[in-house]
Amino acid sequence: MPELRPAADFLDDAHAILRRERARLDELLAQPHELLLVGGSSVPGALTKGDVDLHLRVAAPDFRPVVAALTDVYEVVLPEIWQDTLATFAVEAPLPTGVAVTPAGSEHDLRFTRTWERLAADPALVEAYNDIKLRHRDDPGEYERHKSAFFDSLL
């Protein structure tokens, strides 16, 4: 795993990427949408490798048309994890950046919104998150397993 650093080191750049992508999506999408900064880089006390995670929320009926539109501007990533309520893309940006698209109110939407909101509001949860990252930084499979269980506990 790359070196972990405090998210505060990346927060200004992450917010600049968020603003740029909001402007891009406002021009591209006719459908109502909301683009959020989530992930480790969104929580100042969290440890991160410096990647930026964006979450695009759309109304359920707009999910498929929005995903189709995004395939023209973003690179599809991890198509094997795509589901009826999740699509993922890479965003060309100064930091490694991805965007996950979900219908508002779906299971994936709640996972992205609630977990990061709860984590950002509770320093003890940030400490627990950082501990998982530190303990399993050399074993990505174990890290993902423990992180997933931790996030499940936040729902």
pLDDT band for position 1 (cuts 50, 70, 90): low
Measured between its terminal Cα atoms, the distance across the chain in Å is 27
More confident residue, 79 or 2: 79
Residue pointed to by tokens 């530190």 = 134
pLDDT at 80 over 70: yes
pLDDT at 3 over 90: no
117 and 154 Cβ atoms separated by less than 8 Å: no
- Which DSSP category does 33 fall into? E
CA distance 56 to 33: 7
Q: Is 141 exposed, middle or buried (0-12, 13-18, 19+ CB in 10 A)?
A: exposed
pLDDT at 140 over 80: yes
- Give the pLDDT confidence score for residue 106 in this predicted structure: 97
Mean of the pLDDT values across residues 81-99?
A: 97
CA distance 73 to 51: 19
How confident is the model over 30-48, as pLDDT tens digits?
999 999 999 999 999 999 9
61 and 18 Cβ atoms separated by less than 8 Å: no
Give 53-94 as a DSSP string. Answer: EEEEEE-GGGHHHHHHHHTTTSEE--GGG-BTTBEEEEE-SS
Q: Does domain 5-154 have CATH number 1.20.1250.20?
A: no
The model carries a pTM of 0.94
- Give the pLDDT confidence score for residue 47 in this predicted structure: 96
pLDDT at 26 over 60: yes
Spans of all domains in the chain: 5-154
